[in-house]
Chains A and B, each alone.
Chain A
């Protein structure tokens, strides 16, 4: 009893412990883990998309022919598939981002926290509204 009372807990003999290893496929064990990995992977697609987008803007400096040739390249089935995948990843990232916002930055309504679903809905609403404004401006100024 004495050695347990002096404030330092008795520690097990480390040589006798079994240390389990995490399988490499841990992210396939639960749908939530897989969704997390897809969310992380989304950054790769969005990064590639942004690089391609920057190259596309750069083509503008080289004249209309160079730009048209580049856009022509992007219309190949491979690039279209890539852009569809990127759109889906961007949607996944945006939706999970707004879900997180409600968790990370709780808003108060009077004395109590606002329900998370309401914060999420407000965020999605603001996102849709801003996207609509951009779309309207785009259509208006396209000429």
Chain B
């Protein structure tokens, strides 16, 4: 008796040659301890070296191997073949992004958005190193810790129909990371981030579908970050109207 196999239907797209993506079926050995990424590596090594896809760490940390697996955005390093036993597996590039080649998407839009929200600690004046570190209490850390877990895998963008319909939308991960720094007691960049977050294409484009948080492999909960930012921005606006002399 031959080895048990499972079929992967993989999206192929050759830039400059194909007008539209097509699907290619590959039969790979079915192993209980294999994930979809192992199956793709098997195809690349043993069957078809022309297949292109991104991956790196193989352990859910680098955020490179996000793809659509049977229509759901997933890290392929965490999608076990055994969960699809008896079915064929459809592997497609993350939706809502332009396709560069096969399973490789163009992530520049996300990278630009991430930069636009200043996803780093902003200080008005850096204190000299000799004065020591910026200290935080456990409660101050807890206020933003969950949102530091984002690995920029972009599954949330693939799950977000608002981003699919309106590509100008800042999107879940960028806003989650903006919120992460806004909530950090060491940060002073809130006013700068408001200029991006408080626009129509910022948080206000979000209609709270909530699927970003459902697909997040790190339980970052971008939907919560977006809604809380809406509340914060609304509070800021009321303060600016009621207290025009305030500290806006």
Q: Compute how far the CA of A105 lies from the CA of B161 in the bound complex, rounded to whole angstroms.
A: 24
B185 within 8 A of A: no
Which A residues are within 8 Å of any B CB, using their own CB?
A: 9, 11-14, 16-20, 22, 26-27, 29-30, 32-33, 36, 40, 100, 103-106, 111-112
B99/A9 in contact, CB under 8 A: no
Given B100, B106, B164, which contacts A26 in the complex, CB threshold below 8 Å? B164
Given A12, A17, A32, A105, which contacts B231 in the complex, CB threshold below 8 Å? A105
Q: Known: A26-B161, A29-B71. Contact between A18 and B223, CB under 8 A?
A: no
Residue of A nearest to B161 (CB): A26
Given B16, B96, B111, B208, which contacts A100 in the complex, CB threshold below 8 Å? B208
What A residues does B106 contact at CB under 8 A?
A: 12, 17
A-B pairs under 8 A by CB, number: 71
What B residues does A14 contact at CB under 8 A?
A: 98
In the assembled complex, how far is the CB of residue B166 from the closest CB belonging to chain A, in whole angstroms?
10
Q: Known: A11-B108, A103-B223. Contact between A18 and B161, CB under 8 A?
A: no
In the assembled complex, how far is the CB of residue A6 from the closest CB belonging to chain B, in whole angstroms?
16
Q: Compute how far the CA of A18 lies from the CA of B21 in the bound complex, rounded to whole angstroms.
A: 8
A18/B210 in contact, CB under 8 A: no
Q: A33-B211, A103-B227, A111-B138 are in contact. List 20 more A-B contacts (CB 8 A).
A: A13-B15, A17-B98, A18-B20, A18-B21, A20-B21, A22-B161, A22-B164, A27-B161, A29-B71, A33-B161, A40-B207, A100-B227, A103-B221, A103-B223, A103-B224, A104-B227, A104-B231, A106-B224, A106-B228, A111-B142
